[in-house]
Amino acid sequence: MAGTAVTAMETSASIAAWAESTFGAARSLDDLAARAIEELNELRAALAADEPASEVTAEAADVAILLHRIAALCGADLAAIVDQKMAINRARRWQPAGDGTGRHID
């Protein structure tokens, strides 16, 4: 379709490349994890304030962006790692906590 821009799906590598060109090289993975915690706290604040879904999901995306950057710096793609981890999780037995979360029991 003429005039329509095609946007490729982001990967951990493309997100990390953007972040490095925008912010510079990360000093450490721990610095990125600390920033992800700050973004997670912003997500929690948006939830507590009953912000619209668009704001909540934007905050969730900020957390995911940092996790993608960490994965890329570890030589992995977060989506692939999530797929691998879900295969493990699906094979485990779980104890529900009653609040929509739980812990694996094997």
**pLDDT confidence of residue 16:** 97
Annotated domain spans of the chain: 14-92
| Domain 14-92 in this protein, CATH class | mainly alpha
Q: What pLDDT, in 10s, does the model give residues 8-27?
A: 799 999 999 999 999 999 99
pTM summary value: 0.88
- The residue that leads in pLDDT, 3 or 8, is 8
**pLDDT confidence of residue 5:** 63
Q: What pLDDT, in 10s, does the model give residues 25-35?
A: 999 999 999 99
Quickly list DSSP for the chain.
Answer: -TTPPP-PPP-HHHHHHHHHHHH---S-HHHHHHHHHHHHHHHHHHHHTT--HHHHHHHHHHHHHHHHHHHHHTT--HHHHHHHHHHHHHHS-EEE-SSS-EEE--
